[in-house]
C-alpha cells in the first residue's frame, strides 16, 4: 500500500549527498534500521530511514547522487521542497536486537551510514543501555564524511560508542585505507562480547566484509547486511 507524503526540506550535506526530510500525511511508525520505498511518477527506489525522532511524524533520508541514475536525477535536479510523493513501508529486518547485550559493529561506506544514524539517535534518545559500539565509516576523502559534528555529539553522549572514520584516498591524521583493516584490527586486539556485525552500503564492501567475517568463524546470524546495489 502506498501512502501520500511530501518532501518538506532538502539540505546539502556534501556536494553529492543531500538530506531529504519526508513528512507522511498519516502517522508513520518504524523501527530504526528499516527502509521505505519512495515513488515519484513511475520511478520507485528504496531508501533507509536515516533519523529517529519519536516526537515528530517526519523522517530523514541521506541520498547520494549517482551519475545517470533515474531517481537521483529526479531528486537532485527536478524537484523542490513541497513535492508530493508516495511511500511504502516501513520494510526490513535490519534492526537492533531487543536487548543489546552484545558488542556491535556498524560498518558502512557512504550513505550506508543512514540506518546507523537512526540506530544511534534511537539509542541516545531512548537511553538504551549497550555494550561497545564500533562505528566504522569509510569514504574516499574527508569532504565525503557525513554528519561529522552530529556523530561527535553522539560520541560525547554515548560512552560505549567508538567512531572510526577511514579514508581511502586522502592522507590525514586518522585511519587510511578501507573499512576492512579497521574491524579486523579491533577483532584481533579486543576481547569482544559475542559481537554482532551490521554491514550497510554497496555490494563490493559487503561481500568482502562478509567473507572476512565468515573466515574468522562468525556465522550468518551474527552478520546482518543491507545491500544498496
Cα diameter, the chain:
51
Quick count: other Cβ atoms within 10 Å of Cβ 92?
Answer: 17
Cβ contact 135:163 at 8 Å: yes
- Of the candidates 8, 25, 54, 66, which one interacts with ligand FAD according to CB under 6 A? 66
Cβ contact 184:88 at 8 Å: no
Nearer to ligand FAD, 103 or 144 (CB): 144
- Kindly state the smallest distance separating residue 168's Cβ from ligand FAD, in Å: 15
| 144 interacts with ligand FAD by CB under 6 A | no
- Kindly state the smallest distance separating residue 31's Cβ from ligand FAD, in Å: 14
Residue whose Cβ sits closest to ligand FAD = 69
CA pair distance 27, 57, nearest whole angstrom: 6
- Kindly state the smallest distance separating residue 160's Cβ from ligand FAD, in Å: 25
- Kindly state the smallest distance separating residue 68's Cβ from ligand FAD, in Å: 5
Question: Considering only residues 25-44, where is the footprint of ligand FAD by CB under 6 A?
Answer: 35
| 71 interacts with ligand FAD by CB under 6 A | yes
CA pair distance 64, 188, nearest whole angstrom: 33
- Of the candidates 30, 47, 105, 197, which one interacts with ligand FAD according to CB under 6 A? 47
DSSP 83-148: -EEEEEEEE------SS--S-EEEEEEGGGGHHHHHHHHHHHHTT---S-EEEEEEESSGGG--SH
Instruction: Write the interaction track for ligand FAD spanning residues 162-201; mark x where CB under 6 A is met and - where it is not.
Output: ----------------------------------------
Pairing of strands 84-91, 161-167: unpaired
Nearer to ligand FAD, 69 or 124 (CB): 69
Residues in the site for ligand FAD, rule: CB under 6 A? 35, 45-48, 61-64, 66, 68-72, 111, 114, 202, 226, 228-229
Amino acid at each position: 500500500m502506498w501512502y501520500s507524503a511530501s518532501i518538506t526540506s532538502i539540505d546539502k550535506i556534501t556536494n553529492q549527498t543531500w538530506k531529504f526530510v519526508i513528512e507522511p500525511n498519516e502517522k508513520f511508525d518504524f523501527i530504526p534500521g528499516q527502509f521505505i520505498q519512495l515513488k515519484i511518477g513511475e520511478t520507485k527506489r528504496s531508501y533507509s530511514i536515516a533519523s529517529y525522532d519519536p516526537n515528530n511524524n517526519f523522517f530523514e533520508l541521506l541520498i547520494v547522487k549517482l551519475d545517470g541514475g533515474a531517481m537521483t536525477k529526479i531528486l537532485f535536479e527536478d524537484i523542490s521542497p513541497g513535492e508530493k510523493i508516495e511511500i511504502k513501508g516501513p520494510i526490513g529486518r535490519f534492526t537492533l536486537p531487543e536487548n543489546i547485550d552484545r558488542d556491535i559493529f556498524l560498518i558502512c561506506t557512504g550513505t550506508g551510514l543512514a540506518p546507523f544514524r537512526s540506530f544511534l539517535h534511537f539509542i541516545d534518545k531512548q537511553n538504551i543501555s549497550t555494550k561497545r559500539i564500533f562505528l566504522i565509516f569509510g569514504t574516499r576523502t574527508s569532504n565525503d564524511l557525513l554528519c561529522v559534528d552530529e556523530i561527535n555529539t553522539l560520541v560525547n553522549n554515548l560512552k560505549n560508542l567508538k567512531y572510526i572514520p577511514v579514508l581511502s584516498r586522502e592522507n590525514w591524521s586518522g585511519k587510511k585505507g578501507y573499512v576492512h583493516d579497521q574491524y579486523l584490527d579491533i577483532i584481533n586486539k579486543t576481547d569482544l562480547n559475542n559481537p554482532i556485525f551490521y554491514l550497510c552500503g554497496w555490494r563490493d564492501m559487503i561481500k568482502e566484509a562478509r567473507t572476512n567475517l565468515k573466515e574468522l568463524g562468525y556465522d550468518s546470524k551474527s552478520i546482518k547486511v543491507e545491500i544498496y546495489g
